[in-house]
A = this chain, B = another copy of it.
Amino acid sequence: MAEDYVELIAELIESRGEARPVEIAERFGVKPPTVTKNISRLKAAGLVRREPYRAIFLTDAGRELAEACRRRHRIVVAFLLSLGIDEETAERDAEGIEHHVSTTTLEAFEHALLQSESGK
């Protein structure tokens, strides 16, 4: 959960300037109370900084985690695309797959990606 949240929060801050619960709820297809509860868990975990009714910000730890997740996500998506999978499916599957990919496997994906690029 935490990974998906910080990833999305980082994206929202980048694209919108701030991250709001209502947008998070829409993107994940959950209801606002779920977001409130999860955000407070992220806060307890030191990933997020925030006061009630205000926008959500990432701590340094949160930003680091988000960066690692986004990088991993990009690699997985790019890899699936390189296999000829359509964008929508690649995005959807990557969402699930990325949390189960070890460093070893991620490196293998990167390596395969380089091969396919040189061979195109």
Residue positions of A touching B, CB distance < 8 A? 80, 83-86, 89-90, 92-93, 95-97, 99-102, 104-105, 108-109, 111-112
Contact = CB atoms under 8 A, between A and B. Distances in A.
A80 to B, nearest CB: 6
Contact of A93 (B83, B85, B86, B101): B101
- In order of increasing CB-CB distance, the 5 nearest A-B pairs are A96-B100, A83-B108, A89-B104, A93-B105, A97-B100
Mostly, the A contact residues are helix
A83 B99 contact: no
Copies of the polypeptide in the assembly: 2
A1 to B, nearest CB: 15
B108 A100 contact: no
